Structure 1
């Protein structure tokens, strides 16, 4: 017979029982996709990248200042140097080498203040692979496994241009992938492009993991309720060509307000709470069951 102290030890160990399974839960994965949509990153240009997140893993991005929390605001100083990249997949086999991936960091700009020249490329690596999963299920990206076309350029939005949205995006890179000639060699500098057009023209596969954050320099010089051209992000649709940004904005101010309210109601905070409660219940159940069995 074990004392009540044993039960307390078992209860305290429930996080390890949950995450020791070696893969991300479906709730963790779906939460990242919801957060991505709530930032309008799946919406067509000029609001987002026009690429849905078909999440299959949780992407962990860790800067020297600490790990990124999806949707959180950071200073340019916080994210000025290249971070380490790991992921916790739902299915380890899908991410194990020799499966290859393309990793991108791009700026979707500030909602209501689109860049007429498109998105901005801060990092691009083709042919990246991941190592074997560790004890916690995490898989680290193999350093030097791919071709770094554009070396890391830390976010540095122009003064008073609003809260820029930056996304680390991991794409499946199938055998048919062919990088465009102007973005195939190492040493290509950062610059404007359209992520959607690059993905379509090069033959990249699905966007399977992402991590995203915001950086603002100064204060926005446009209203905080600025027009959102495409006020409802569409997670299931990706535009396969670069957009001109000529869509009508008539009446979208009200739509933007409604969308913001919906984002607050259905946003990542509530999703995170739900996932946490579920994990607590699961862990408690496992711990209690273990205690009963050893009596």
Structure 2
């Protein structure tokens, strides 16, 4: 494994089946594939693309993005968007803030999936620096009971655990990932 550090972003290269950290959020999830494929995340009707650490303004990400990934025609997917830096990267006591959770997505059509947690844009508090907003896509082994998941999770979005959720629902490792960073914006 080769790790090169640029500012606060980590990049890695996996060798064989050795587990390694996911680029930019090694403190969140560990996987064998390093999520070698990105989910395409596009805001503002495709005018703004997310690419592993893109710095965006909170005003640019207030509306639900469009996403694309390479899908299997007869498969279902789960999408999770989290902020692991809540309320701040220095003191992430609310890690991981759940910004979006959709299950039973056919192909890459998020709007056809079952929404467990509706989309929330970035909202880092003033003075907390940059936050990472991570998109994780998992291939499901079958249909998930979205009503039971909604009841279990409730309305509280703080202290969500994507890895635990994936384990409890037999999702395995994420197969597609991406993230952007954003900080408090005074005029949003």
> Which category describes the TM-score, using the shorter chain as reference length?
0.7 to 0.9
Q: Which residue of 2 aligns with 1:69?
A: 51
Residue 146 of structure 1 and its aligned partner are, at CA, apart by 1.4
Q: TM-score, normalised by structure 1?
A: 0.49
Structure with greater helix percent? 1
Structure 2: how far apart are the matches of 1:157 and 1:169?
Answer: 20
Residue 107 of structure 1 and its aligned partner are, at CA, apart by 0.4
Residue 150 of structure 1 and its aligned partner are, at CA, apart by 0.9
**Equivalences, count:** 164
Q: Which residue of 1 aligns with 2:172?
A: 205
Q: Deviations over 1:44-103 (max 9, x none)?
A: xxxxx234273353311100051112212111001110011112x4xxxxx222211100
Residue 107 in structure 1 maps to residue 83 in structure 2:
yes
Q: Which residue of 2 aligns with 1:171?
A: 138
Structure 2: how far apart are the matches of 1:102 and 1:194?
Answer: 14
Structure 2: stretches of 5+ with no match in the other structure = 1-10, 14-20
Q: Deviations over 1:114-167 (max 9, x none)?
A: 32132000110001121xxxxxxxxxx225431011111111011111210111
Q: 1:184 to 1:146 in 2, by over 3 A?
A: farther
Spell out structure 1 runs of 4+ moving beyond 4 A. Answer: 176-180
Q: Which residue of 1 aligns with 2:157?
A: 191
- Greater RCO (CA < 8 Å, at least 6 residues apart): 1
SS of 1:156's equivalent in the other structure is coil
Structure 2: how far apart are the matches of 1:146 and 1:73?
Answer: 28
Residue 128 in structure 1 maps to residue 105 in structure 2:
yes
Aligned-residue RMSD, C-alpha: 3.0
Structure with greater strand percent? 2
Q: TM-score, normalised by structure 2?
A: 0.74
The answer as to whether partners of 1:101 and 1:170 remain within 8 angstroms in 2 is: yes
The answer as to whether partners of 2:83 and 2:95 remain within 8 angstroms in 1 is: no
Structure 1: stretches of 5+ with no match in the other structure = 1-32, 44-48, 90-94, 131-140, 219-295
Q: Which residue of 2 aligns with 1:50?
A: 29
Q: 1:160 to 1:182 in 2, by over 3 A?
A: same
Q: 1:53 to 1:169 in 2, by over 3 A?
A: farther
Residue 179 of structure 1 and its aligned partner are, at CA, apart by 5.8
Q: Which residue of 2 aligns with 1:281?
A: none
Structure 2: how far apart are the matches of 1:62 and 1:189?
Answer: 27
SS of 1:149's equivalent in the other structure is strand
